[in-house]
A and B are shown apart, each in its own frame.
Chain A
Protein backbone atom coordinates (compact mmCIF):
# COMPACT_ATOMS: atom_id res chain seq x y z
CA UNK A 1 0.00 0.00 0.00
CA UNK A 2 1.27 3.39 -0.85
CA UNK A 3 2.42 5.52 1.95
CA UNK A 4 3.85 8.93 2.33
CA UNK A 5 6.66 9.82 4.52
CA UNK A 6 7.25 13.10 6.19
CA UNK A 7 10.77 14.29 6.31
CA UNK A 8 11.53 16.26 9.39
CA UNK A 9 14.81 18.01 9.66
CA UNK A 10 15.38 19.00 13.29
CA UNK A 11 18.14 21.46 12.71
CA UNK A 12 19.64 23.17 9.75
CA UNK A 13 22.22 25.89 9.49
CA UNK A 14 19.85 28.10 7.57
CA UNK A 15 16.15 28.21 7.02
CA UNK A 16 14.77 27.42 3.68
CA UNK A 17 11.53 26.19 2.33
CA UNK A 18 11.35 22.89 0.72
CA UNK A 19 8.70 22.20 -1.83
CA UNK A 20 7.68 18.72 -2.56
CA UNK A 21 5.50 17.72 -5.38
CA UNK A 22 5.97 14.03 -5.09
CA UNK A 23 8.96 13.77 -7.41
CA UNK A 24 11.78 16.01 -6.45
CA UNK A 25 13.31 17.49 -3.45
CA UNK A 26 15.54 20.47 -3.64
CA UNK A 27 17.61 20.64 -0.59
CA UNK A 28 20.39 23.09 -0.27
CA UNK A 29 22.05 22.37 2.96
CA UNK A 30 25.56 22.07 4.04
CA UNK A 31 25.32 19.79 6.99
CA UNK A 32 22.76 17.33 5.73
CA UNK A 33 24.83 14.36 6.62
CA UNK A 34 25.17 15.39 10.16
CA UNK A 35 21.48 16.03 10.66
CA UNK A 36 19.04 13.62 12.03
CA UNK A 37 16.38 12.79 9.56
CA UNK A 38 13.13 11.52 10.90
CA UNK A 39 10.80 9.84 8.53
CA UNK A 40 7.24 9.75 9.80
CA UNK A 41 4.79 7.52 7.94
CA UNK A 42 1.47 9.17 7.16
CA UNK A 43 -1.75 7.90 5.73
CA UNK A 44 -2.03 7.98 1.89
CA UNK A 45 -2.56 11.38 0.43
CA UNK A 46 -1.98 13.14 -2.82
CA UNK A 47 0.07 15.90 -1.39
CA UNK A 48 2.36 16.14 1.47
CA UNK A 49 4.02 19.01 2.98
CA UNK A 50 7.45 19.35 4.49
CA UNK A 51 8.95 22.16 6.37
CA UNK A 52 12.46 22.55 7.50
CA UNK A 53 13.11 24.63 10.53
CA UNK A 54 16.38 26.36 11.22
CA UNK A 55 18.11 26.20 14.46
CA UNK A 56 17.88 23.78 17.27
CA UNK A 57 14.44 23.08 18.52
CA UNK A 58 13.35 21.98 21.84
CA UNK A 59 11.62 18.74 22.17
CA UNK A 60 8.32 20.42 22.88
CA UNK A 61 8.54 22.60 19.82
CA UNK A 62 9.59 19.61 17.84
CA UNK A 63 6.55 17.64 18.93
CA UNK A 64 4.27 20.56 18.23
CA UNK A 65 5.60 20.92 14.75
CA UNK A 66 5.31 17.24 14.20
CA UNK A 67 1.71 17.14 15.31
CA UNK A 68 0.87 20.18 13.25
CA UNK A 69 2.22 18.56 10.13
CA UNK A 70 0.47 15.29 10.79
CA UNK A 71 -2.84 17.03 11.41
CA UNK A 72 -2.49 19.01 8.25
CA UNK A 73 -1.66 15.88 6.34
CA UNK A 74 -4.64 14.09 7.72
CA UNK A 75 -6.94 16.98 7.03
CA UNK A 76 -5.99 17.05 3.40
CA UNK A 77 -7.08 13.49 3.00
CA UNK A 78 -10.31 13.89 1.11
CA UNK A 79 -10.39 10.70 -0.93
CA UNK A 80 -12.46 7.82 0.24
CA UNK A 81 -10.21 4.82 0.25
CA UNK A 82 -13.09 2.38 -0.10
CA UNK A 83 -14.03 3.56 -3.62
CA UNK A 84 -12.39 1.44 -6.41
CA UNK A 85 -11.63 4.57 -8.37
CA UNK A 86 -9.81 5.79 -5.36
CA UNK A 87 -7.75 2.64 -5.26
CA UNK A 88 -6.89 3.17 -8.92
CA UNK A 89 -5.96 6.74 -8.19
CA UNK A 90 -3.83 5.65 -5.32
CA UNK A 91 -1.96 3.16 -7.45
CA UNK A 92 -1.26 5.84 -10.04
CA UNK A 93 -0.25 8.22 -7.37
CA UNK A 94 2.26 5.75 -6.01
CA UNK A 95 4.38 6.07 -9.18
CA UNK A 96 6.27 9.34 -9.31
CA UNK A 97 6.08 9.91 -13.11
CA UNK A 98 2.34 9.38 -13.06
CA UNK A 99 2.07 11.71 -10.12
CA UNK A 100 4.21 14.23 -11.94
CA UNK A 101 1.96 14.04 -15.00
CA UNK A 102 -1.11 14.18 -12.89
CA UNK A 103 0.18 17.28 -11.24
CA UNK A 104 0.63 18.87 -14.64
CA UNK A 105 -2.76 17.69 -15.88
CA UNK A 106 -4.75 17.46 -12.73
CA UNK A 107 -7.69 15.05 -12.81
CA UNK A 108 -7.00 14.27 -16.49
CA UNK A 109 -5.43 10.87 -16.66
CA UNK A 110 -7.33 10.30 -19.88
CA UNK A 111 -4.74 12.46 -21.61
CA UNK A 112 -2.03 10.07 -20.54
CA UNK A 113 -4.01 7.14 -21.82
CA UNK A 114 -4.67 8.93 -25.06
CA UNK A 115 -0.97 9.58 -25.64
CA UNK A 116 -0.14 5.95 -24.99
CA UNK A 117 -2.89 4.78 -27.33
CA UNK A 118 -1.68 7.08 -30.10
CA UNK A 119 1.85 5.77 -29.68
CA UNK A 120 0.70 2.17 -29.94
CA UNK A 121 -1.35 2.97 -33.03
CA UNK A 122 1.65 4.63 -34.70
CA UNK A 123 3.79 1.58 -34.04
CA UNK A 124 1.10 -0.74 -35.36
CA UNK A 125 0.54 1.34 -38.49
CA UNK A 126 4.24 1.45 -39.20
CA UNK A 127 4.53 -2.30 -38.83
CA UNK A 128 1.56 -2.76 -41.15
CA UNK A 129 3.04 -0.44 -43.78
CA UNK A 130 6.38 -2.21 -43.73
CA UNK A 131 4.80 -5.60 -43.97
CA UNK A 132 5.26 -7.07 -47.41
CA UNK A 133 2.01 -7.95 -49.09
CA UNK A 134 1.61 -11.67 -49.42
CA UNK A 135 -0.14 -11.39 -52.75
CA UNK A 136 -0.43 -8.51 -55.13
CA UNK A 137 -3.83 -7.57 -56.32
CA UNK A 138 -5.19 -9.76 -59.13
CA UNK A 139 -4.61 -8.65 -62.67
CA UNK A 140 -1.39 -6.82 -61.97
CA UNK A 141 1.87 -6.98 -63.85
CA UNK A 142 2.98 -9.59 -61.31
CA UNK A 143 0.65 -12.02 -63.04
CA UNK A 144 2.46 -11.44 -66.32
CA UNK A 145 5.75 -12.12 -64.60
CA UNK A 146 4.31 -15.25 -63.03
CA UNK A 147 3.13 -16.51 -66.37
CA UNK A 148 6.55 -15.94 -67.92
CA UNK A 149 5.45 -13.17 -70.26
CA UNK A 150 7.67 -10.61 -68.58
CA UNK A 151 11.12 -10.97 -67.10
CA UNK A 152 11.12 -9.79 -63.49
CA UNK A 153 14.56 -8.22 -63.65
CA UNK A 154 13.73 -5.95 -66.56
CA UNK A 155 11.46 -3.82 -64.45
CA UNK A 156 14.28 -2.77 -62.19
CA UNK A 157 16.58 -1.73 -65.02
CA UNK A 158 14.05 0.53 -66.69
CA UNK A 159 14.08 2.98 -63.82
CA UNK A 160 17.45 4.67 -63.43
CA UNK A 161 18.75 6.08 -60.20
CA UNK A 162 17.38 9.44 -59.20
CA UNK A 163 20.60 10.87 -57.96
CA UNK A 164 23.53 11.92 -60.10
CA UNK A 165 26.18 11.63 -57.48
CA UNK A 166 26.37 8.26 -55.69
CA UNK A 167 27.73 10.07 -52.68
CA UNK A 168 24.73 12.36 -52.47
CA UNK A 169 22.69 9.31 -51.67
CA UNK A 170 19.95 9.25 -49.08
CA UNK A 171 21.13 5.80 -48.05
CA UNK A 172 24.62 7.08 -47.26
CA UNK A 173 24.70 9.50 -44.35
CA UNK A 174 27.97 10.99 -43.28
CA UNK A 175 28.16 12.20 -39.70
CA UNK A 176 28.49 15.88 -38.88
CA UNK A 177 32.07 15.55 -37.80
CA UNK A 178 32.92 13.38 -40.85
CA UNK A 179 34.04 10.67 -38.48
CA UNK A 180 31.15 8.25 -39.00
CA UNK A 181 29.09 7.11 -41.94
CA UNK A 182 25.82 5.26 -42.00
CA UNK A 183 25.16 2.85 -44.86
CA UNK A 184 22.18 0.55 -45.09
CA UNK A 185 21.31 1.09 -41.48
CA UNK A 186 24.76 0.25 -40.17
CA UNK A 187 27.05 2.85 -38.70
CA UNK A 188 30.78 2.75 -39.34
CA UNK A 189 33.65 4.72 -37.96
CA UNK A 190 35.77 6.43 -40.60
CA UNK A 191 39.55 6.38 -40.50
CA UNK A 192 41.53 8.74 -42.74
CA UNK A 193 43.79 7.38 -45.45
CA UNK A 194 47.38 8.38 -44.85
CA UNK A 195 49.19 7.21 -47.99
CA UNK A 196 51.44 9.93 -49.36
CA UNK A 197 53.02 10.32 -52.79
CA UNK A 198 56.44 9.64 -51.32
CA UNK A 199 55.30 6.35 -49.86
CA UNK A 200 53.82 5.36 -53.22
CA UNK A 201 57.13 6.13 -54.95
CA UNK A 202 58.99 4.01 -52.40
CA UNK A 203 56.73 1.05 -53.14
CA UNK A 204 57.17 1.47 -56.89
CA UNK A 205 60.92 1.42 -56.53
CA UNK A 206 60.76 -1.66 -54.36
CA UNK A 207 58.67 -3.50 -56.95
CA UNK A 208 60.86 -2.46 -59.86
CA UNK A 209 63.83 -4.00 -58.08
CA UNK A 210 61.96 -7.16 -57.03
CA UNK A 211 60.11 -8.02 -60.24
CA UNK A 212 61.95 -8.03 -63.55
CA UNK A 213 59.76 -9.05 -66.45
CA UNK A 214 59.68 -8.44 -70.15
CA UNK A 215 56.74 -8.88 -72.44
CA UNK A 216 56.99 -11.83 -74.89
CA UNK A 217 57.16 -10.54 -78.43
CA UNK A 218 58.42 -13.53 -80.39
CA UNK A 219 57.10 -17.10 -80.40
CA UNK A 220 59.50 -19.70 -81.70
CA UNK A 221 59.23 -23.43 -82.12
CA UNK A 222 61.97 -25.61 -80.70
CA UNK A 223 64.75 -25.82 -83.19
CA UNK A 224 64.26 -22.35 -84.63
CA UNK A 225 67.14 -19.94 -84.44
CA UNK A 226 66.89 -16.70 -82.54
CA UNK A 227 66.86 -13.61 -84.75
CA UNK A 228 69.72 -11.22 -84.14
CA UNK A 229 67.65 -8.19 -83.15
CA UNK A 230 65.41 -10.00 -80.69
CA UNK A 231 65.93 -9.84 -76.93
CA UNK A 232 66.24 -13.42 -75.57
CA UNK A 233 64.06 -12.47 -72.57
CA UNK A 234 61.22 -11.61 -74.94
CA UNK A 235 61.12 -15.02 -76.62
CA UNK A 236 58.65 -17.73 -75.77
CA UNK A 237 59.44 -21.27 -76.88
CA UNK A 238 56.63 -23.51 -78.02
CA UNK A 239 57.25 -27.29 -77.90
CA UNK A 240 57.35 -28.96 -81.31
CA UNK A 241 54.45 -31.29 -80.57
CA UNK A 242 52.26 -28.51 -79.24
CA UNK A 243 49.15 -27.81 -81.34
CA UNK A 244 50.03 -24.15 -81.45
CA UNK A 245 53.29 -25.01 -83.17
CA UNK A 246 51.71 -27.23 -85.80
CA UNK A 247 49.05 -24.80 -86.90
CA UNK A 248 51.23 -21.71 -86.92
CA UNK A 249 51.90 -21.91 -90.64
CA UNK A 250 48.25 -22.35 -91.59
CA UNK A 251 47.01 -19.05 -90.22
CA UNK A 252 46.52 -16.01 -92.33
CA UNK A 253 46.90 -13.15 -89.91
CA UNK A 254 45.43 -10.56 -92.20
CA UNK A 255 42.30 -12.62 -92.70
CA UNK A 256 41.95 -13.15 -88.98
CA UNK A 257 42.43 -9.47 -88.23
CA UNK A 258 39.88 -8.41 -90.77
CA UNK A 259 37.44 -11.02 -89.57
CA UNK A 260 36.94 -9.38 -86.20
CA UNK A 261 33.51 -8.20 -87.32
CA UNK A 262 32.76 -11.57 -88.96
CA UNK A 263 32.89 -9.94 -92.38
CA UNK A 264 33.71 -13.28 -94.00
CA UNK A 265 30.74 -14.97 -92.45
CA UNK A 266 30.62 -17.84 -90.05
CA UNK A 267 34.04 -19.24 -89.13
CA UNK A 268 35.10 -22.23 -91.25
CA UNK A 269 35.22 -24.71 -88.43
CA UNK A 270 31.72 -23.89 -87.29
CA UNK A 271 30.45 -24.14 -90.88
CA UNK A 272 32.10 -27.53 -91.36
CA UNK A 273 30.56 -28.92 -88.19
CA UNK A 274 27.19 -27.59 -89.18
CA UNK A 275 27.41 -29.25 -92.62
CA UNK A 276 28.42 -32.57 -91.08
CA UNK A 277 25.50 -32.46 -88.65
CA UNK A 278 23.14 -31.61 -91.49
CA UNK A 279 24.31 -34.60 -93.53
CA UNK A 280 23.91 -36.92 -90.57
CA UNK A 281 20.40 -35.67 -89.94
CA UNK A 282 19.43 -36.21 -93.56
CA UNK A 283 20.81 -39.74 -93.47
CA UNK A 284 18.80 -40.55 -90.38
CA UNK A 285 15.65 -39.18 -91.93
CA UNK A 286 16.12 -41.31 -95.02
CA UNK A 287 16.47 -44.42 -92.94
CA UNK A 288 13.30 -43.68 -91.05
CA UNK A 289 11.33 -43.30 -94.27
CA UNK A 290 12.62 -46.61 -95.50
CA UNK A 291 11.61 -48.33 -92.34
CA UNK A 292 8.10 -46.95 -92.52
CA UNK A 293 7.57 -48.59 -95.93
CA UNK A 294 7.93 -52.12 -94.50
CA UNK A 295 4.92 -53.98 -93.08
CA UNK A 296 4.94 -53.86 -89.37
CA UNK A 297 3.23 -56.56 -87.36
CA UNK A 298 1.43 -53.91 -85.37
CA UNK A 299 0.09 -52.28 -88.50
CA UNK A 300 -0.75 -55.57 -90.22
CA UNK A 301 -4.45 -55.07 -89.62
CA UNK A 302 -4.46 -52.18 -92.04
CA UNK A 303 -3.55 -54.58 -94.83
CA UNK A 304 -5.93 -57.39 -93.82
CA UNK A 305 -9.35 -57.91 -95.22
CA UNK A 306 -12.06 -57.62 -92.65
CA UNK A 307 -13.19 -61.08 -91.39
CA UNK A 308 -15.92 -62.39 -89.24
CA UNK A 309 -15.26 -63.27 -85.69
CA UNK A 310 -16.69 -66.79 -86.10
CA UNK A 311 -14.30 -67.65 -88.89
CA UNK A 312 -11.41 -66.56 -86.73
CA UNK A 313 -12.39 -68.74 -83.79
CA UNK A 314 -13.26 -71.88 -85.86
CA UNK A 315 -10.36 -71.97 -88.23
CA UNK A 316 -7.16 -70.47 -86.84
CA UNK A 317 -5.08 -72.37 -89.40
CA UNK A 318 -6.17 -69.97 -92.10
CA UNK A 319 -3.99 -67.33 -90.46
CA UNK A 320 -0.94 -69.45 -91.18
CA UNK A 321 -0.26 -68.25 -94.74
CA UNK A 322 -0.58 -64.63 -93.59
CA UNK A 323 1.83 -65.23 -90.73
CA UNK A 324 4.18 -67.04 -93.06
CA UNK A 325 4.14 -64.10 -95.41
CA UNK A 326 4.99 -61.84 -92.50
CA UNK A 327 7.89 -64.06 -91.59
CA UNK A 328 9.27 -63.99 -95.15
CA UNK A 329 9.20 -60.23 -95.30
CA UNK A 330 10.93 -59.64 -91.99
CA UNK A 331 13.15 -56.52 -92.08
CA UNK A 332 16.90 -56.48 -91.54
CA UNK A 333 16.93 -54.18 -88.47
CA UNK A 334 17.21 -55.87 -85.10
CA UNK A 335 14.17 -54.16 -83.62
CA UNK A 336 11.91 -55.47 -86.32
CA UNK A 337 13.71 -58.82 -86.26
CA UNK A 338 12.67 -59.34 -82.68
CA UNK A 339 9.10 -58.53 -83.65
CA UNK A 340 9.27 -61.14 -86.41
CA UNK A 341 10.63 -63.71 -83.99
CA UNK A 342 7.73 -62.99 -81.72
CA UNK A 343 5.31 -63.34 -84.59
CA UNK A 344 6.89 -66.70 -85.46
CA UNK A 345 6.41 -68.00 -81.97
CA UNK A 346 2.86 -66.76 -81.86
CA UNK A 347 2.07 -68.46 -85.15
CA UNK A 348 3.59 -71.70 -83.89
CA UNK A 349 1.51 -71.46 -80.77
CA UNK A 350 -1.58 -70.88 -82.80
CA UNK A 351 -0.86 -73.90 -84.99
CA UNK A 352 -0.65 -76.18 -82.00
CA UNK A 353 -3.96 -77.71 -81.13
Chain B
Protein backbone atom coordinates (compact mmCIF):
# COMPACT_ATOMS: atom_id res chain seq x y z
CA UNK B 1 0.00 0.00 0.00
CA UNK B 2 2.64 2.48 1.11
CA UNK B 3 4.93 1.53 -1.75
CA UNK B 4 2.17 2.12 -4.23
CA UNK B 5 1.49 5.46 -2.70
CA UNK B 6 5.10 6.52 -3.09
CA UNK B 7 5.20 5.24 -6.62
CA UNK B 8 2.24 7.40 -7.45
CA UNK B 9 4.05 10.41 -6.08
CA UNK B 10 7.16 9.49 -8.04
CA UNK B 11 5.16 9.26 -11.22
CA UNK B 12 4.03 12.74 -10.55
CA UNK B 13 7.52 14.08 -11.10
CA UNK B 14 7.25 14.62 -14.80
CA UNK B 15 9.36 16.39 -17.34
CA UNK B 16 8.79 20.13 -17.08
CA UNK B 17 6.30 21.29 -19.68
CA UNK B 18 7.84 24.75 -19.99
CA UNK B 19 11.17 23.23 -20.88
CA UNK B 20 9.57 20.99 -23.46
CA UNK B 21 7.83 23.94 -25.03
CA UNK B 22 11.21 25.71 -25.20
CA UNK B 23 12.72 22.74 -26.98
CA UNK B 24 9.81 22.71 -29.42
CA UNK B 25 10.46 26.36 -30.17
CA UNK B 26 14.04 25.60 -31.25
CA UNK B 27 12.58 24.54 -34.57
CA UNK B 28 12.53 27.69 -36.68
CA UNK B 29 9.30 26.67 -38.37
CA UNK B 30 7.56 26.23 -35.06
CA UNK B 31 8.72 29.56 -33.68
CA UNK B 32 5.85 31.46 -35.25
CA UNK B 33 3.34 28.70 -34.67
CA UNK B 34 1.11 28.44 -31.68
CA UNK B 35 1.41 25.37 -29.55
CA UNK B 36 -1.69 24.02 -27.92
CA UNK B 37 -1.38 23.24 -24.24
CA UNK B 38 -1.83 19.52 -24.81
CA UNK B 39 1.11 19.15 -27.19
CA UNK B 40 3.86 19.47 -24.56
CA UNK B 41 1.93 17.14 -22.24
CA UNK B 42 1.88 14.48 -24.92
CA UNK B 43 5.54 14.98 -25.76
CA UNK B 44 6.53 14.82 -22.11
CA UNK B 45 4.83 11.46 -21.81
CA UNK B 46 6.25 10.28 -25.11
CA UNK B 47 9.76 11.35 -24.10
CA UNK B 48 9.29 9.43 -20.86
CA UNK B 49 8.46 6.31 -22.85
CA UNK B 50 11.46 6.89 -25.07
CA UNK B 51 13.75 7.16 -22.05
CA UNK B 52 12.36 3.92 -20.60
CA UNK B 53 12.61 2.11 -23.92
CA UNK B 54 16.14 3.30 -24.64
CA UNK B 55 17.25 2.45 -21.10
CA UNK B 56 15.88 -1.07 -21.25
CA UNK B 57 17.29 -1.73 -24.72
CA UNK B 58 20.69 -0.54 -23.51
CA UNK B 59 20.36 -2.70 -20.40
CA UNK B 60 20.00 -5.77 -22.65
CA UNK B 61 23.48 -5.09 -24.01
CA UNK B 62 24.85 -4.40 -20.54
CA UNK B 63 23.57 -7.77 -19.33
CA UNK B 64 24.94 -9.51 -22.42
CA UNK B 65 28.38 -8.24 -21.46
CA UNK B 66 27.83 -9.31 -17.85
CA UNK B 67 28.12 -5.83 -16.48
CA UNK B 68 25.98 -4.04 -13.94
CA UNK B 69 26.53 -0.51 -15.16
CA UNK B 70 25.05 0.83 -18.35
CA UNK B 71 27.76 2.51 -20.39
CA UNK B 72 27.37 4.95 -23.25
CA UNK B 73 28.42 2.20 -25.65
CA UNK B 74 25.38 0.16 -24.61
CA UNK B 75 23.14 3.03 -25.61
CA UNK B 76 25.00 3.40 -28.89
CA UNK B 77 24.43 -0.29 -29.56
CA UNK B 78 20.76 -0.06 -28.65
CA UNK B 79 20.37 2.85 -31.05
CA UNK B 80 22.11 1.08 -33.91
CA UNK B 81 20.19 -2.17 -33.41
CA UNK B 82 16.68 -0.67 -33.46
CA UNK B 83 15.27 1.15 -36.46
CA UNK B 84 12.98 3.22 -34.25
CA UNK B 85 16.04 5.02 -32.89
CA UNK B 86 17.49 5.81 -36.32
CA UNK B 87 17.16 9.53 -35.73
CA UNK B 88 19.53 9.26 -32.77
CA UNK B 89 22.44 7.78 -34.70
CA UNK B 90 24.22 11.13 -34.93
CA UNK B 91 23.51 11.94 -31.31
CA UNK B 92 24.94 8.77 -29.84
CA UNK B 93 27.77 7.85 -32.20
CA UNK B 94 29.17 4.37 -32.07
CA UNK B 95 32.57 4.11 -30.49
CA UNK B 96 34.06 2.12 -33.34
CA UNK B 97 33.53 5.01 -35.70
CA UNK B 98 35.28 7.31 -33.28
CA UNK B 99 38.24 4.96 -32.99
CA UNK B 100 38.81 4.56 -36.73
CA UNK B 101 38.84 8.33 -37.09
CA UNK B 102 41.55 8.71 -34.50
CA UNK B 103 43.99 6.41 -36.36
CA UNK B 104 46.88 8.63 -37.46
CA UNK B 105 47.12 8.80 -41.22
CA UNK B 106 50.59 9.48 -42.55
CA UNK B 107 50.55 10.67 -46.14
CA UNK B 108 53.13 13.42 -45.86
CA UNK B 109 56.01 11.12 -46.68
CA UNK B 110 57.80 11.87 -49.94
CA UNK B 111 60.93 9.85 -49.27
CA UNK B 112 61.08 7.13 -51.89
CA UNK B 113 63.47 4.99 -49.92
CA UNK B 114 61.07 4.60 -47.07
CA UNK B 115 59.34 1.37 -46.55
CA UNK B 116 56.11 1.21 -48.40
CA UNK B 117 54.48 -0.94 -45.85
CA UNK B 118 55.71 -1.59 -42.40
CA UNK B 119 55.49 -5.23 -41.62
CA UNK B 120 56.06 -6.82 -38.30
CA UNK B 121 56.87 -10.41 -39.07
CA UNK B 122 59.55 -12.87 -38.26
CA UNK B 123 61.36 -11.70 -41.39
CA UNK B 124 62.78 -8.87 -39.33
CA UNK B 125 65.38 -11.33 -38.14
CA UNK B 126 67.06 -11.04 -41.53
CA UNK B 127 67.98 -7.45 -40.82
CA UNK B 128 70.55 -8.51 -38.25
CA UNK B 129 73.44 -7.53 -40.52
CA UNK B 130 72.41 -3.89 -40.30
CA UNK B 131 70.91 -3.78 -43.77
CA UNK B 132 67.35 -2.69 -43.87
CA UNK B 133 65.08 -4.92 -45.84
CA UNK B 134 62.03 -3.52 -47.54
CA UNK B 135 58.89 -5.42 -48.18
CA UNK B 136 56.14 -4.74 -50.58
CA UNK B 137 52.84 -6.14 -49.57
CA UNK B 138 50.05 -6.69 -52.01
CA UNK B 139 46.76 -8.46 -51.87
CA UNK B 140 46.94 -11.26 -54.37
CA UNK B 141 43.23 -11.44 -55.01
CA UNK B 142 43.04 -8.01 -56.58
CA UNK B 143 46.22 -7.02 -58.37
CA UNK B 144 45.14 -3.66 -59.70
CA UNK B 145 43.66 -2.21 -56.58
CA UNK B 146 45.68 -1.91 -53.43
CA UNK B 147 44.06 1.21 -52.11
CA UNK B 148 41.92 -0.75 -49.74
CA UNK B 149 45.06 -1.88 -48.01
CA UNK B 150 45.53 1.33 -46.11
CA UNK B 151 45.31 0.93 -42.37
CA UNK B 152 44.37 -2.70 -42.56
CA UNK B 153 45.21 -5.25 -39.93
CA UNK B 154 45.77 -8.85 -40.82
CA UNK B 155 45.63 -11.61 -38.29
CA UNK B 156 47.65 -14.64 -39.25
CA UNK B 157 46.89 -18.15 -38.16
CA UNK B 158 49.92 -18.35 -35.87
CA UNK B 159 48.68 -15.37 -33.90
CA UNK B 160 50.87 -12.79 -35.55
CA UNK B 161 49.38 -9.48 -36.49
CA UNK B 162 50.48 -7.60 -39.57
CA UNK B 163 49.74 -3.95 -39.60
CA UNK B 164 49.83 -2.50 -43.08
CA UNK B 165 50.00 1.25 -43.28
CA UNK B 166 50.14 2.71 -46.73
CA UNK B 167 52.79 5.41 -46.81
CA UNK B 168 53.60 5.99 -50.45
CA UNK B 169 51.70 5.36 -53.65
CA UNK B 170 51.09 1.75 -54.43
CA UNK B 171 53.50 0.35 -56.98
CA UNK B 172 52.82 -2.50 -59.35
CA UNK B 173 54.24 -5.80 -58.25
CA UNK B 174 56.47 -7.62 -60.65
CA UNK B 175 58.38 -10.68 -59.68
CA UNK B 176 62.07 -10.14 -60.48
CA UNK B 177 63.94 -13.33 -61.32
CA UNK B 178 66.11 -14.62 -58.56
CA UNK B 179 64.00 -13.19 -55.81
CA UNK B 180 62.05 -15.41 -53.56
CA UNK B 181 58.40 -14.62 -53.19
CA UNK B 182 56.85 -15.59 -49.96
CA UNK B 183 53.16 -16.25 -50.18
CA UNK B 184 51.08 -16.41 -47.06
CA UNK B 185 47.46 -17.37 -46.97
CA UNK B 186 45.35 -15.51 -44.50
CA UNK B 187 42.38 -17.08 -42.85
CA UNK B 188 39.71 -15.45 -44.97
CA UNK B 189 41.16 -16.68 -48.23
CA UNK B 190 43.21 -13.65 -49.10
CA UNK B 191 46.82 -14.17 -50.02
CA UNK B 192 49.77 -11.99 -49.23
CA UNK B 193 52.90 -12.03 -51.34
CA UNK B 194 56.06 -10.74 -49.72
CA UNK B 195 58.99 -9.89 -51.97
CA UNK B 196 62.26 -8.58 -50.53
CA UNK B 197 63.43 -5.44 -52.34
CA UNK B 198 66.95 -4.13 -51.95
CA UNK B 199 67.23 -0.66 -50.58
CA UNK B 200 67.56 1.94 -53.34
CA UNK B 201 70.38 3.84 -51.57
CA UNK B 202 72.55 0.78 -51.60
Asked if chains A and B come from one complex, the reply is no
